[in-house]
Amino acid sequence: MRLDKYLSYALNVSRRDSRQIIRLGRVKVNGFTTIKTDFYIDEYQDEIFFDGNQLEYHEFIYLMINKPKGYITATRDLELPTILDLIKDYKKYNLFMAGRLDIDTEGFVLLTNDGNFAYNITKPQSKCEKKYYLETEEQFSLEDERLCREGLMIRDGKGRLIKTKPARLEIIESNKAYLTIYEGKYHQIKQMCRILGKKLKYLKRIKIGPIDLDSGLKPGEYRLLTTEEVNKLKN
Ligand code: URA
């Protein structure tokens, strides 16, 4: 890989800035300063230092974003803003989403350029848990908890009737609850609420697998997953 390309990924700066950094003599390759921006390096073997600090090469990146309402989880749309519009500084990574949320849902979306990782989380057999916080017009009852546990008849994306897998409803107070599902059917939470006779006022995804949405992230904010979080999700 060219040194300027490597640096722009490793420091997450533009190619223009990375060339400038190299020309200023701030980069060493295997102990030698180079000002050649098109110098070819082996990103897996060579030791690259920037201002005395060794850089690490990551082929894949993993981001958690707190999706705000009004954004769609798609890579592009002609009319509506997409969550990629919120993460312009990672544009060069060609990120895509490991799972979707509706335009009016808030919360945790995972973005990555690691296709296998995304597939393993979203594939139908994955059973990866997703936890939602919801508020409804009507009150929840213990009967609702039982119905969720036993499974509800909803429609899949093709209009066919299907039964949901056992889901966990935890009532927080009258019309506020957590609902954890282990699959991802078409508008699943909305359909489940409709079957329970509840009008959904607010929906937010707060957990994917073992990872909670970082409570420090305001709607529209994002951060890289830690290595520990990525490993937990992979397991
Ligand atoms: N279920 C829904 O109905 N909507 C979402 O955005 C996520 C899960």
Q: What pLDDT, in 10s, does the model give residues 188-221?
A: 999 999 999 999 999 999 999 999 999 999 999 9
User: What mean pLDDT is predicted for residues 70-87?
Assistant: 92
Alpha carbon of residue 180 to chain centroid = 17
Alpha carbon of residue 221 to chain centroid = 12
Asked if residue 16 has pLDDT above 90, the reply is yes
> Which pLDDT value is given to residue 88?
83
> Which pLDDT value is given to residue 57?
82
Select from 132, 133, 181 the residue to mutate for testing ligand 1; criterion: most ligand atoms less than 8 Å from CB.
132
Select from 73, 102, 103, 169 the residue to mutate for testing ligand 1; criterion: most ligand atoms less than 8 Å from CB.
102
> Which pLDDT value is given to residue 28?
97
Structure confidence by residue, pLDDT tens digits, 140-167: 999 999 999 999 999 999 999 999 999 9
Q: Is 188 near ligand 1, meaning CB less than 6 Å away?
A: yes
Structure token pair of residue 89: 């500084």
Q: Which of 22-26, 89-93, 154-158, 167-171 has the lowest mean pLDDT?
A: 89-93
Listed residue (209, 177, 174, 172) closest to 193, CA to CA = 177
Helical (H) or strand (E) element with 222: strand 222-224
User: What mean pLDDT is predicted for residues 71-91?
Assistant: 90
User: What mean pLDDT is predicted for residues 167-195?
Assistant: 97
Asked if residue 44 has pLDDT above 90, the reply is no
Centre of ligand 1 from the C-alpha of residue 79, in Å: 21
Q: Report the distance separating Cα 33 and Cα 119, nearest Å.
A: 41
Q: Is 183 near ligand 1, meaning CB less than 6 Å away?
A: no
Work out the number of other CB atoms within 10 angstroms of the CB of residue 21. Answer: 20
Spell out the domains of the chain, with CATH numbers in brackets: 3-54 (3.10.290.10), 59-125+215-235 (3.30.70.580), 129-208 (3.30.70.1560)
Categorize the per-residue pLDDT at 91 as very low, low, confident or very high, splitting at 50, 70 and 90: confident
| H, E, C per residue of 66-125 | EECCCCECCCCCCCCCEHHHHCHHHHHHCCEECCCCCCCCEEEEEEECCHHHHHHHHCHH
Alpha carbon of residue 151 to chain centroid = 27
Q: State the chain's mean pLDDT as an integer.
A: 95
DSSP assignment of 180-202, as one string? EESS--TTHHHHHHHHTT--EEE
Sign of the Cα torsion 154, 156, 157, 160 reads: negative
User: What mean pLDDT is predicted for residues 164-183?
Assistant: 97
Asked if residue 49 has pLDDT above 90, the reply is yes
Categorize the per-residue pLDDT at 25 as very low, low, confident or very high, splitting at 50, 70 and 90: very high
- Residue of the CA atom closest to atom 4 of ligand 1: 187
User: What mean pLDDT is predicted for residues 96-101?
Assistant: 94
Q: Is 134 near ligand 1, meaning CB less than 6 Å away?
A: no
Report the atom number in ligand 1 closest to the C-alpha of 191.
3
